[in-house]
Structure 1
Amino acid sequence: MQAIEEGTLEYFDPEMYSNFNTEVLEEYLEEKTRAEGFGSTTWKWDQIMLGLVIGIIFAVINQYVGLKVGMIVSGSWYVAYLAAMALRWTPGEVNLSASASTGASMVCTGFVFTYPAIYLLAYSSKYRNPDGSHLVDASLLLPDSWVLAGVALVASILGGMLGVLYFIIFRRVWLVEDPLPLPGFEANVKLMDIARETSTGSVESARHSIWLVGISTLLVGIFTFLRDFPVFSTGAVDFAGDPIRTSVLDKGAHELGVSRYYEGGDLMVPFDSGITNYTWLGFEFTPLMGAIGWFMKFRVAMLVSLGTFFTWFVITPMAYVFDYPFYYPIDGLYHAVSAYPAASLKSYSYVARPMAIGAILGGGITALLKMAPVFRTTAADVIAIFGGGDDDVARRDYVDGEG
């Protein structure tokens, strides 16, 4: 902090962001930005519009990623950074545009995790009533009806509004008083550093960094196309009568006779192997998850992966060894895990998953109880804001003459 005050430490120096998550630096930057932030960045519609256009394009991409891997990681701000840097905007202007792109790209988040669930309730055999009927009437779904699509859209909009409101309330808690680690923060800082170099004339260094980002994007895009894009016809049709197509890599695996070991981006032990009764071993070729792990570093990535390791190397083997009975909701009966081929998949679906749901609920409740003292500060800030007052404490969010 002394180096920042004296002007000897630049904003994007690694020595600066290595001191984050200490609560001290966050508090200092919070007050510094509150006083000086209005002068460092101004609202410009061309910057916002660039971010919105990029974000809308990535909303479609996020829809695909969410359906493919079950999670969404914003990548629009990378492109927004590169586009803004090409225009030689300052870091503050770049950040403004990238923030707009991130907000626009996330509009699909609520829908991508809501409407597919409704489809599963309407069509999947896993979610049937005892009489064989589905929990949701398929006639209420697209393209026949907009009824449930409208429900999902409204729920997504309301959820997004509540999310913004909640973050406004808890922003100080999560970013200042008890800061959360940000796995992708180093990448963000690196791109901001490139923006600074570009706007100040350090073109050679910025050009090298942009080249690395661009070539990585190109290579990953080519690989993902070969892995996922349906190019070749299989001669079969799906439930709706549409032709089923396969990707280049899947076609190659079939032609080479190794489709038992590779399918849909997964390099795996064949399902008919005896080991699959105990666990399922496979490696998914997914650059997206590899990049997330790279940003998280080993310790955080290992902590995130512990649940997977515990599931496949402890829970599923034990379920098979002890022949654990699981409840099957379709027929309302209990079945032995060992009665099924590739028993580990049943152990995962009907033993490990319910345990994980319980762990998430228990962990969430415990976390809320742990943070109870912090909520007192948050509630006091909200009451002070809406209660008004002339003292500085009552309106710490307001800077006279600025906003």
Structure 2
Amino acid sequence: MSTPVPAPPQLTFRAVVLAIILAVILAAANAYLGLFAGLTIATAIPAAVVSMGVLRLLGGGTILENNIVQTGASAGSSIAAGVIFTIPALIILGYWDDFRYSWVLAIAGLGGLLGVLFSVPLRRSMIVEDPLPFPEGKAAAEVLKAGDNPGPGLKILALSAVIGAAVKLAAQSGLRMIPDSWAQAGFLGNGKALAYLGTGLSPALLGVGYIVGLNVGIVVLSGAILSWHIAIPLYYAFFTGTDPALAAQLAGQDATGAAFTIWSAKVRYLGVGAMLVGGVWTLFSLRKSLASGIKSGIAAARKGAGHVVAETERDLPMKWMLIALVVFVLPLAVLYHAIVAADPSVGSPWAIGILMTIIMIIAGFLFVSVSAYLAGLVGSSNNPVSGITIATILFASLVLVLLLGRESPIGAVAAIMIGAVVCCAAAVGGDNLQDLKAGYIVGATPWKQQLMLAIGAFSCALVMAPVLNLLSAAYGIGAPTAEHPNPLAAPQAMLMASVAKGMFGGELPWVMIALGGVVGGLVIGLDEWLKKRGSKFRVPVLAAAIGIYLPLELMVPIFLGGLLAHLVERKQKLAADNEDDKDRIHRPGVLFSAGLITGEALMGIAIAIPIVVSGRADVLALPAAWHFSQWIGLAVLAVVGWLLYRTGAKAQPANA
């Protein structure tokens, strides 16, 4: 009888340690990127490349060890997204003065662990029985299988990270040699019309655009054009006369200031309405797939009891999952009780705290399923977690309004706290399925990946509060102030705060929100028409809503990055429907983009340290003679774009 071949090592000590280190670094980088641009990127592919290089230096690693590293490291992007989309809203609402360590740890850590647990029953349905594409999971698996020579990939990552870091150091928050954006604005027709053009000069945004592609780039830019080139000029020309408060704000402002004032006070709420409609539509459109996926996952778990299961099919045991669910939920119930008990007018804080916990569990399981499904269709980077969170906050707010009243001083905070846990769970859940898809392709053991992701998620939660406090002290978060005139925008957190506050006694421009809802409905109709025609170009409503809601400067470089990705495909004469070859073609460009993003984000965090220590925003600034015009900044961005295109275009098709 032959001796069975031992399984290759997977969950080794060195793999776990390396995964934790990469997860923490990538979480910090994504926290900065998300607060700055409202977007995060999946980190599995750069983590896989780094893992292969490091383990090779340590004597070599198996493909399954590298898979474990990229699984744990990918938690960095999901935890960062869950945190920065929601928790800064507590600062914006004035509930916190800074980010409280124990609270952030509880929300992010326990939310992430719940995301892992809720996603386990979905693996069999979405990956094995009725598999979804999971594009980033497939791409990560391809990188792992091609891991014999990780050296070129590491060189690309390192070079582009240095470029991204250097440009960030030279920008406004560092040496102030080049500006952060290029903009031209003016009044036309004797001051009766307003025109504005601009683009950000961030290499990271160029990289984000390359990763998400031309389709998404066109959609987000179209949303921005609707806001900045149609809605803002129309509002300035025809409606400022009927809005005395806004007219007073505009008095004496230049064209750029006027455009941003109208956008901030009115037009961006078109994006809020579109996001609300998009979130509801997402849930409605997935109702059948969601129900069948949950039923299939639970049935598979029951069937597996008492049967011998192959190593590649072993999930975390259902019994231990249920025990862990209870253990993780109890601290959240205590946290919710503490929030409600802060209002002395509430008669039964424990009862309401328990009800908040129940809402969180139900919404968490539902939206983890939605997030996993969406990640399977469009990838984790394009997963509209913010839309899911808005739906959660709205539902929680409606229930809490009935219990606490619309004038409750803690109602908005309570709704944000529910949404924060659900957001972390949904982000991690979608990421978990993406990693499990890669593991399924390379023959990994599911329960080991699920455990590694839980470890990675909790490790990231340990550092989120210090990172957020550092960024907040250095740059400011949310609305501009005298101390921080150009803060990190935190667009999703601003949105969550606005929605929650509007439900509890605050004022919102409901007419603009309603118009945005109409726009969202029209976008959905267009997308459904394109779907019926079989068009490869689609118009995801939540991407359009983000474009409407965010400044034009952020959307233009994202579009340009997507255009570069398209030009790379054209140069390689790649068939548009050949997704496997597209993954291989774009791998160098994706790595270069990931390096730009990581380098710029980490430099942003590094710059924050001397700013906070000195208390001066200009502590690193060079003398005025070294400050160059915005045209030089535009030239720098053009050079970075050329390098990105050249790197991507050097790739050869798989069948070359």
Distance in 2 of aligned mates of 1:183 and 1:339 = 46
Residues 173, 374 of structure 1: 8 Å contact kept: no
8 Å contact from structure 2 (residues 122, 297) kept in 1 = no
Match among 174, 198, 210 for residue 154 of structure 2: 210
The answer to whether the 8 Å contact 1:76/1:98 transfers is: yes
Q: How far apart are residue 268 of structure 1 and its match? A: 1.1
| 1:315 alignment counterpart | 231
Amino acid at match of 2:73: S
State yes or no: 1:141 paired with 2:97.
yes
Amino acid in the other structure paired with 2:183:
M
State whether structure 2 residue 31 is matched by structure 1 residue 63.
Answer: yes
Q: Give me the whole-angstrom Cα distance separating, in 2, the residues matched to 1:335 and 1:248.
A: 32
Compare CA radii of gyration and give the structure with the larger one.
Answer: 1
In the other structure, the counterpart of 1:304 is: 220
* Matching residue of 1:243: none
Is residue 102 from structure 1 mapped to residue 102 from structure 2 by the alignment? no
Deviations 1:330-357 (A, max 9, x none): xxx8645994434322332233222211
Does the CA contact (< 8 Å) of 2:123 and 2:297 recur in 1?
A: no
C-alpha deviation, 1:97, in angstroms: 0.9
| Letter of the 1:296 counterpart | V
Deviation (angstroms), 1:281: 1.6
Question: d(CA) in 1 for partners of 2:249 and 2:76?
Answer: 48
Q: Amino acid of the residue matched to residue 248 of structure 1?
A: R
SS of the residue corresponding to residue 196 of structure 2 reads coil
| Compared CA separation, residues 113 and 51, structure 1 to 2 (3 A) | same
Other structure's SS at 2:177 match: helix
1:166, distance to aligned residue in structure 2 (A): 4.1
Aligned to 1:278, the other structure's residue is in SS state strand
Q: Which residue of 1 aligns with 2:171?
A: 227
SS of equivalent residue, structure 1 residue 141: coil
Q: Which residue of 2 aligns with 1:159?
A: 111
CA distance in 1, matches of 2:142, 2:112: 29
2:176 aligned partner: 248
CA distance in 2, matches of 1:103, 1:91: 19
Distance in 1 between residues matched to 2:31 and 2:71, nearest whole Å = 19
Code of the residue aligned with 1:267 in structure 2: it is W
Deviates more, 1:159-168 or 1:221-230: 159-168
- In 1, Cα distance between equivalents of 2:88 and 2:220: 25
Q: How many residues align?
A: 298
Letter in 1 for 2:24: I
1:108 shift after superposition: 4.1
Higher RCO (C-alpha 8 Å, min separation 6): 2
- Match of 2:93, SS state, is helix
SS across alignment from 1:220? helix
Where does residue 284 of structure 1 map in the other structure? 200
Residue equivalent to 1:274: 187
Aligned to 2:281: 366
Corresponding residue for residue 350 of structure 1: 265
Q: 1:33 — aligned with what?
A: none
Aligned to 1:18: none
Does the residue aligned with 1:269 lie in a helix, a strand or coil? strand
Indicate which of 344, 363, 375 corresponds to 2:290: 375
Aligned to 1:89: 61
Letter in 1 for 2:46: Y
Residue 249 of structure 1 aligns with an amino acid whose one-letter code is M
Amino acid corresponding to residue 64 of structure 1 in structure 2: Y
1:280 partner SS: strand
Matched-pair contact (CA < 8 Å) for 2:35–2:84: yes
**Normalized against structure 1, the TM-score is what?**
0.61
The answer to whether the Cα contact below 8 Å between 2:26 and 2:77 also exists between their aligned partners in 1 is: yes
Task: Check 1:115–1:42 CA distance in 2 against 1; reply closer, same or farther (3 A cut).
Answer: closer
Question: Please, which of 76, 90, 103 is the counterpart of residue 118 of structure 1?
Answer: 90
Amino acid at match of 1:321: A
Give the secondary structure class of the aligned counterpart of 2:239: coil
Measured after TM superposition, the shift of residue 174 of structure 1 is 6.2
Q: Does the Cα contact within 8 Å between 1:320 and 1:338 map onto a contact in 2?
A: no
- Partner Cα separation in structure 1 for residue 216 and residue 144 of structure 2: 23
Higher strand share: 1
SS in 1 for 2:39: coil
Q: Deviations over 1:123-177 (max 9, x none)?
A: xxxxxxxxxxxxx3xxx534xxx8x554444222333234334443555676674
Paired letter, 2:228:
W
Give the aligned residue type for 1:99. Answer: T
Q: Give, in angstroms, the shift of residue 93 of structure 1.
A: 2.4
- Going from structure 1 to structure 2, the CA distance change for 1:335 and 1:72 (only over 3 Å counts) comes to same
Residue 325 of structure 1, CA deviation? 7.1
CA contact (8 A) 1:323 1:336 kept: no
Aligned to 1:201: none
Paired with 1:325 and 1:371, the residues of 2 have a C-alpha distance of: 44
Q: Which runs of 5+ in 2 are unaligned?
A: 1-5, 316-444, 448-656
Question: Larger helix proportion, structure 1 or 2?
Answer: 2
Q: Which amino acid aligns with 2:184?
A: V
| Percent identical residues | 19
Question: Are 1:57 and 1:105, in contact at CA under 8 Å, matched by a contact in 2?
Answer: no
